[in-house]
């Protein structure tokens, strides 16, 4: 395991909020906050400059929203993980940011321990979804599926997506299934296309809502 800390960028337009988040994140020995942004455009500039492992974004920010920044990250710096940390649990916000490609969505009411774990999960390639919003999103996606044709996944694609949902990296998925990283990438590209998803998180949630994958991939353990 690497001894390098998880490099994090914080973006929130409230300085006091940023200071509080930074303080408890940096209490974790494996996390280092490398930059802070007070608006979305500044966040984009600092992400391009520092290439953090994880960008922790608020949704409502001046000049560019968290949704806009997430789309920009997915277009320009796909290796940067995106964790949205916000006070909003409204369905349109959640769906918009997941469709934009966010890896996680956590409410500011979460405990410091939960937020620290969410950063670690996003860094590890896992989904990090607040229990308060998970069921709402699943219900919304389930409501959409009756009016939208979705091409079924192959058995191999389901295997790949299941492992992705459990936090396996492309390399680990390949090793587990005896295929190359490039083949895994190809499977994921087809999965995203079939499910009209922009991230592993959204793809897993859509597959769960369709009954193709077990709910425990998105539901927190009891």
Tell me the per-residue pLDDT of 86-97, one tens digit each, with 9 for 90 and over: 887 776 777 788
Structural domain spans, the chain: 6-129, 140-217
Percent share of the chain, pLDDT over 70: 86
Res 146: pLDDT: 46
More confident residue, 108 or 129: 108
Measured CA to CA, the distance from residue 120 to residue 106 in angstroms comes to 13
Confidence band for 214, pLDDT divided at 50, 70 and 90: confident
Res 12: pLDDT: 95
Burial 73-82 (b: 16+ CB within 10 A, else e): bbeeeeebbb
Query: 12-16, 117-121, 201-205, 212-216: lowest mean pLDDT where?
Result: 212-216
Each residue of 122-152: pLDDT tens digit? 998 887 887 766 666 655 555 554 445 578 8
Confidence band for 1, pLDDT divided at 50, 70 and 90: very low
Fold of 140-217: Arc Repressor Mutant, subunit A (1.10.10)
Burial 27-56 (b: 16+ CB within 10 A, else e): ebeebebbbbbbbbbbbbebbeeeebbbbb
Measured CA to CA, the distance from residue 98 to residue 179 in angstroms comes to 28
This prediction has a pTM of: 0.66
DSSP structural state of residue 55: E
Give one DSSP letter per residue of 116-166, joined into a string.
HHHHHHHHTT--EE-HHHHHHHHHHHHHHHTTS--PPPPHHHHHHHHHHHT
Task: Supply the mean pLDDT for the chain.
Answer: 85
Measured CA to CA, the distance from residue 124 to residue 170 in angstroms comes to 11
Tell me the torsion sign for CA atoms 49, 182, 213, 149.
positive
Could you tell me which CATH class the domain 6-129 is placed in? alpha beta
Res 149: pLDDT: 59
CA distances from 16 to 13, 52, 124 (A): 9, 22, 28
Confidence band for 211, pLDDT divided at 50, 70 and 90: confident
């Amino acid at each position: 395991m690497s001894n390098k800390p998880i490099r994090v960028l914080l973006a929130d337009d409230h300085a006091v909020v940023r200071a509080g988040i930074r303080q408890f994140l940096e209490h974790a020995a494996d996390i280092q906050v490398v930059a802070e942004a007070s608006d979305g455009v500044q966040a984009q500039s600092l992400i391009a400059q520092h290439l953090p492992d994880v960008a922790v974004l608020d949704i409502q920010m001046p000049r560019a929203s968290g949704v806009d920044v997430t789309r920009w990250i997915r277009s320009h710096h796909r290796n940067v993980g995106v964790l949205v940390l916000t006070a909003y649990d409204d369905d349109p916000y959640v769906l918009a940011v997941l469709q934009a490609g966010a890896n996680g969505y956590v409410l500011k009411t979460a405990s410091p321990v939960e937020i620290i774990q969410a950063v670690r999960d996003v860094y590890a390639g896992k989904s990090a979804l607040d229990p308060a919003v998970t069921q709402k999103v699943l219900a919304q996606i389930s409501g959409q599926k009756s009016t939208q044709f979705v091409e079924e996944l192959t058995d191999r694609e389901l295997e790949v997506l299941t492992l992705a949902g459990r936090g396996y990296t492309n390399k680990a998925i390949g090793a587990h299934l005896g295929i190359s990283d490039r083949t895994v990438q190809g499977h994921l590209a087809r999965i995203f296309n079939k499910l009209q998803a922009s991230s592993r998180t959204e793809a897993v949630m859509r597959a769960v809502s369709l009954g193709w994958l077990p709910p425990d991939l998105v539901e927190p353990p009891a």
